[in-house]
Structure 1
Amino acid sequence: MDAQELKIKDYLLEGIVTEQFKQDKKMPSEYMLVEQFNVPRIKVRNVYNLLEKMGYIYSRQGIGRFMKHQRKQLDVVMTGDVSFTEKMMNQTAHYKSIVTKVEQVSPEHSIYSKPYVDASNTLYLIERLRFIEDEPAAIHRSYVVVENFSEIKQASNRISSMYAFYKQHGFTDFHSSFSQLEVAFPTELDRVMLGCEMLVPLVRVESDNWANDQQILLEYTEILYRTDRFSFQLLEK
């Protein structure tokens, strides 16, 4: 991106951040920006293509570009010892969770290099796709220690909340010893599952989850949050 394109991008992003451009309203035309910045049309088109890949705008062929929906703020505690399902159900009437993968984890999986994960344990992956307002918002992967739950393989396809499952089996008090947060860009599989563009940043949170009374590891958790449609707040517990 050259200096002219950067100037156009900064102008448009400022309008997006300050809500000068409204949801589902038409963005400035290529012609208007060409005249305003005195640049070739290809530079304006390059900037718009970038903003579309970043998830800020969408195109209607032959009509123009439009602002995507404004973000909906949702409070999420970024640790593994708070139920995502319960938190979301308290904030929106339109939440659902779909199990997308259930499988035993290979001994060669990178999860076994994580803190506190014992190589002698058998892990079972339960992956869920979380929907807010009928849109995919997060991918939630729970790597469950099978030795603690002999029936996990039979029940896994019906599990939407791991915390509800744990409570049904006598585990009611939890804690995390750590949480690790980083920003990543979606893989091809992530983009398909979340329906997002390639330059939409994802917030990846990894943490462990322990049963307080028994002091045993229940699961290692990885959650991928979309950032183009939802703002996730760090809260004090």
Structure 2
Amino acid sequence: MQAKAVRPMERKTGIALWRQVADRIRQGIGAGDYEGDGRLPPETVLAERFGINRHTVRSAIAALVQEGVLRAEQGRGTFIQRRRRFTYPISARTRFSEGLRDQARDRRGHLLAHAREEADQRIADALGIAPGSPVIRLETLSEADGRPVSRATSWFEAERFSGIADAFAASGSVTLALRDHGVDDYFRKSTVVSARHAEGADLADLKLAPGAIVLVAVALNVDTQGRPVQFSETRFAADRVELSVIG
């Protein structure tokens, strides 16, 4: 495969060179630069291509191996870890379990943490309540066939959903937890999608390496009367999930 020309690495930007290299390799994988047997060029070739030393390349590759994007085979080299990405549909009736029903045998939700707190302006506007009103915040993790695929922060009006944390912990499902609070059906009113590097707890809980990309979906769900029931920010591991907007 003929090496492609690459733009110089950006120095003195505050972003570590190894992290920039990892991002470039990810982008190259997405663009099909390493097709065929999926083998990456040797470290010396990558170092020359990116204009850096082998140690920096090795650090980038180690991070991608830890993340599950690459795999190292003794005596053979480093290969793309080809795993099927889940397609997560975003529609008027978005449900985690239903959305992945035909793609994963085992779909589970876990409650990581919860707290009662005061709504800031952003949360209050979304839920249609006054700033400072009490809300319940849930931190949750969703898995498909044992692979962590998303981590979410959700807010619910405390007066209406006072037991939402216990209900979710028992069922692992927002749908069932809302049903326990008299919401038999709900709809997606809005979703805003963006992307960023994973940070903090998302790195640990999603088992990602520093520099990994997450897709971020900020969403508002409402009941059949149009009353807000859940405001959430969900971070999806971009190497494991693609979002499909329907309708």
Relative to the length of structure 1, the TM-score reads 0.75
Structure 2 distance, partners of 1:44, 1:110, is: 48
* Residues 83 and 161 in structure 1, CA contact (< 8 A), matched pair in contact too: no
**1:30 and 2:40 equivalent?**
no
* Residues 99 and 158 in structure 1, CA contact (< 8 A), matched pair in contact too: no
* Residues 90 and 246 in structure 2, CA contact (< 8 A), matched pair in contact too: yes
How far residue 16 of structure 1 moved from its aligned partner, in angstroms, is 6.1
Please give the per-residue CA displacement for 1:121-164, whole angstroms capped at 9, x wherever unaligned. 32112222111231111012221112223433543421411112
**1:73 and 2:86 equivalent?**
yes
How far residue 205 of structure 1 moved from its aligned partner, in angstroms, is 0.7
User: Residue 100 and residue 43 in structure 1: after superposition, are their counterparts in 2 closer, same or farther (change >3 A)?
Assistant: same
What are the within-5 Å matches in structure 2 for residues 117-156 of structure 1? Answer: 117-118=128-129, 119=131, 121-156=133-168
How far residue 39 of structure 1 moved from its aligned partner, in angstroms, is 6.7
Structure 1 distance, partners of 2:180, 2:229, is: 14
**1:218 and 2:229 equivalent?**
yes
Equivalent position of 2:201 in the other structure: 189
- Aligned residues between the structures: 226
How far residue 216 of structure 1 moved from its aligned partner, in angstroms, is 2.3
User: Residue 39 and residue 124 in structure 1: after superposition, are their counterparts in 2 closer, same or farther (change >3 A)?
Assistant: closer
> Which AA in structure 2 matches 1:77?
I
* Residues 71 and 231 in structure 1, CA contact (< 8 A), matched pair in contact too: no
How far residue 77 of structure 1 moved from its aligned partner, in angstroms, is 0.7
Equivalent position of 1:209 in the other structure: 221
* Residues 155 and 231 in structure 2, CA contact (< 8 A), matched pair in contact too: yes
Structure 2 distance, partners of 1:168, 1:108, is: 23
User: Residue 21 and residue 216 in structure 1: after superposition, are their counterparts in 2 closer, same or farther (change >3 A)?
Assistant: same
User: Residue 87 and residue 26 in structure 1: after superposition, are their counterparts in 2 closer, same or farther (change >3 A)?
Assistant: same
State the secondary structure of the residue aligned to 2:90. coil
* Residues 184 and 203 in structure 1, CA contact (< 8 A), matched pair in contact too: yes
Please give the per-residue CA displacement for 1:37-63, whole angstroms capped at 9, x wherever unaligned. 977995455446446546542446887
> Percentage identity across aligned positions?
14
> Which AA in structure 2 matches 1:28?
P
How far residue 220 of structure 1 moved from its aligned partner, in angstroms, is 0.8
Structure 2 distance, partners of 1:226, 1:120, is: 32
* Residues 164 and 177 in structure 2, CA contact (< 8 A), matched pair in contact too: no
Select 2:211's aligned residue among 199, 204, 210. Answer: 199
Structure 1 distance, partners of 2:231, 2:159, is: 14
* Residues 110 and 169 in structure 2, CA contact (< 8 A), matched pair in contact too: no
State the secondary structure of the residue aligned to 2:169. helix
Structure 2 distance, partners of 1:59, 1:198, is: 18
> Which AA in structure 1 matches 2:138?
I
**1:83 and 2:81 equivalent?**
no
Equivalent position of 2:14 in the other structure: none
> Which AA in structure 1 matches 2:227?
I
User: Residue 195 and residue 77 in structure 1: after superposition, are their counterparts in 2 closer, same or farther (change >3 A)?
Assistant: same
Structure 1 gaps of 5+ residues are none
State the secondary structure of the residue aligned to 2:220. strand
> Which AA in structure 2 matches 1:206?
V
Structure 2 gaps of 5+ residues are 1-5, 11-20
* Residues 76 and 233 in structure 1, CA contact (< 8 A), matched pair in contact too: yes
Relative to the length of structure 2, the TM-score reads 0.72
User: Residue 219 and residue 62 in structure 1: after superposition, are their counterparts in 2 closer, same or farther (change >3 A)?
Assistant: same
How far residue 93 of structure 1 moved from its aligned partner, in angstroms, is 0.4
Q: CA RMSD in A?
A: 3.6
State the secondary structure of the residue aligned to 2:140. strand
